Amino acid sequence: EAEVAQSPRYKITEKSQAVAFWCDPISGHATLYWYRQILGQGPELLVQFQDESVVDDSQLPKDRFSAERLKGVDSTLKIQPAELGDSAMYLCASSLAGTGDYEQYFGPGTRLTVT
Amino acid sequence: QQQVKQSPQSLIVQKGGIPIINCAYENTAFDYFPWYQQFPGKGPALLIAIRPDVSEKKEGRFTISFNKSAKQFSLHIMDSQPGDSATYFCAANGNTGNQFYFGTGTSLTVIP
């Protein structure tokens, strides 16, 4: 069964350091999402890609966060510099967009702890 | 502004009981309503989803009831089992931008 892959699964970093997360969506899924999930809350969208283009990054803190999906396949989310408040689960998801099929599939997430 | 409001925040039922989780939305452009199940340390997994052209959908022990006029939908888990203990999220998606909006989650505990 096809799955969304994410790495690393866990990351501990010190405040002010840079950190990067990687996501490989399900093959053929044109839409890729990055979410942040704080413990006890629902996922909140950070950025949404359609192929290699950003569709929505209105909730992305652009002073420290960046995301790219250069070839329209896998994606990287970067935080520089990390702050204590960035500690959360970072989830990647993908879906077939533009086909009327809205099913969204999540990866296992990256648990970030900023010390 | 919370696009999807979910309740209750937590729920405890005995094995075999029927927990019910409720969600409400305001945006009438939403046309896809999924439910996700999340275990600790894992990403959410799609459980069941409904579109507003039907009032109910069943998949195994999971049922979604949808009330378009009230802009509400709910998840029912029949014959609940301890293995159903997890956090459940409702979500909504509309035609514009394909963005998903999530509820705040319900932590379900099924007591053996």
* Complete domains list, chain A, with CATH: 5-101 (2.60.40.10)
- The amino acid at residue A7 is S
3-state secondary structure of B50: strand
Closest in B42, B97, B104 to A108, CB measured: B42
Query: How many angstroms separate the Cα of B83 from the Cα of each of B9, B16, B79, B80?
Result: 19, 12, 11, 8
Do the bridges between strand B62-67 and strand B56-59 make them parallel or antiparallel, or are there none, so unpaired? antiparallel
Q: What is the pLDDT of residues A93-106, one digit of tens each?
A: 998 865 556 788 99
Q: What is the pLDDT of residues A39-52, one digit of tens each?
A: 888 999 999 999 99
Q: What is the pLDDT of residues B67-84, one digit of tens each?
A: 999 999 999 999 999 999
The span from the first CA to the last CA of chain A, in angstroms, equals: 36
> How many other CB atoms are there within 10 angstroms of residue B67's CB atom?
12
Q: What number is the average pLDDT over the span A48-64?
A: 92
Instruction: Please tell me what DSSP assigns to residue B84.
Output: G
Report chain B's mean pLDDT, rounded to a whole number.
Answer: 93
Contact assignment for B34 to A102 by CB distance below 8 Å = yes
* Among B53, B98, B99, B108, the residue to mutate for chain A (most A Cβ within 10 A): B98
In order of start, what are the domains of chain B with their CATH numbers?
4-111 (2.60.40.10)
Q: How many CB pairs under 8 A join A and B?
A: 57
